[in-house]
Amino acid sequence: MTEHRYPHAKVHFGVFVQGVNHTTIWSDKDSGSQIDFATFREIAQTAERGLFDAFFLGEGLRLREQRGQIHELDIAGRPDAITELAALAAITSRVGLVATQNCTYNEPADLARRLSGLDLLSDGRAGWNAVTTDNAWTGENFRRGGYLDHQFRYDRARQFVQLAKQIWSGWTEDGGKEVEFRSSQFDVRLVPSLPPSPQGRPVIFQAGDSSAGRDFAAAEADVIFSAHGSDHADALAFADDIRGRLRSFGRPEEDIRILPATQVVLAERESEVAEKFDWVTRGQVTGQTALAMVSQVWGKDLSHLDPDGPLPSEDPVIAETSQTMGSGQGGRDPLAVAAGWRALAEEKGGLSIRELIVETATQRRTGFVGTAAQVADRMAHFVRSGACHGFNISPYIVPGGLDEIVDWLVPALQERGVYRTAYEGTTLREHLGLRPV
């Protein structure tokens, strides 16, 4: 086991409400509406009861598509994130409120002012998950249309964040000072119209995992929302890479908090763990979901197939597709994936389409599965070895899925001295232990 480099570190939690997707058991009778405010109120108040750092809201600017068609298994119609979080600010007092907002299609002066307004209304609890978008269908919502190549997305994002920071720091006691910013993406001159909140400015989250995304985070972000939180060696390698990049940008190694996305499945007794995990996995993979995932690999609509039947006998379509137009292949070789799935289905005695997708999900086993004591021990090891600072949890049931985390896991962590027993500050920056700005 890796030596604990940070023996006094505490686990930080956020809750990530990403919408309907194949990790949420959206068909369960206890799954709430993604439009009804009561859903978001319950999650945010449960997170605050559990002393979470933040409530983290995902958002899209357009309905998700695949191969030019609306993806029917995704959220439709969720209210604007900043509007939602402003309403939650009125009924919470400590938990941070993080809005996902796009750098590719927003404009800095407008977004900086709206985020600053949320920060003021919440007394310094706002955060901004600064994302970019490469899909062309989102661009069709905007006058310039299209999309930016990967390199230019991060050029724009970095300039966007730099300009926002200048706007937020541009207020003086006798009013704002003029901010002038000229770059390859922006030509802006303005006077800030809002004073800073108690935390100075919104906390900046970033989730890009490419080399350019990691550099962007190391240069500008306060928190990284990573995908490296299941395998300890992988998480530690990612964290060490970020620490190295921070040094190269002249920042202290501990200037960023790393909160990987994760799912937690808890059972009260060890003998119940496997059954609970199987129930969650099978709830996540409906027949419709299984067909959609196979369709992504085969490159064509397979919704007419029986999910309890075998994989298609024909090979996948090899077509020129890209994620900009909603391909779900993610760079994988479809022929290789299909061959691997066929071999796995045969090895396991002739798995159906749905059984195969359940099996692959079980093999991946992302996140944390076990009793509260088992998960608490593993999370403590992650944090105290320097692999991350905590976790951004996606409940498998919304809104009630967070209750087990708060009622079972949080006390187990507190017993081990690796989780706060009360909020020690009032702002999101204080919760995260970030230095003042």
Whether 150 has a binding-site annotation, put simply, is yes
Give the residue among 166, 107, 102 at the shortest CA–CA distance from 128: 102
From CA 337, how far away is CA 95, in angstroms rounded? Answer: 42
> Which ranges of 285-419 would DSSP assign to H, the alpha helix?
287-298, 334-347, 353-364, 372-384, 403-404, 410-415
The answer to whether the annotation marks 419 as part of a ligand binding site is no
Detail the DSSP E strand segments found in 42-199: 54-57, 65-66, 69-70, 96-102, 126-131, 171-172, 175-176, 179-182, 187-190
- C-alpha 403/C-alpha 410 separation (Å) is 10
| Alpha carbon distance 232, 382 (integer Å) | 7
CB distance 382 to 388 below 8 Å: yes
Please give the distance of CA 229 from its chain centroid, rounded to a whole number: 12
- 154 is annotated as contributing to ligand binding: yes
| Cα-only R_g, the chain | 22
- Distance in angstroms (rounded) separating the CA atoms of residues 247 and 372: 36
Alpha-helical runs (H) found in 136-272:
136-139, 150-168, 211-220, 232-248
Q: Taking the chain, what is the end-to-end CA distance rounded to the nearest angstrom?
A: 36
Q: Following CA atoms 403, 406, 411, 417 in sequence, which dihedral angle do they give, to the nearest 10 degrees?
A: 160
Is 71 a known ligand-binding residue?
no
Residue ranges of the binding site for FMN: 100, 150, 154, 210
Residue ranges of the binding site: 100, 150, 154, 210
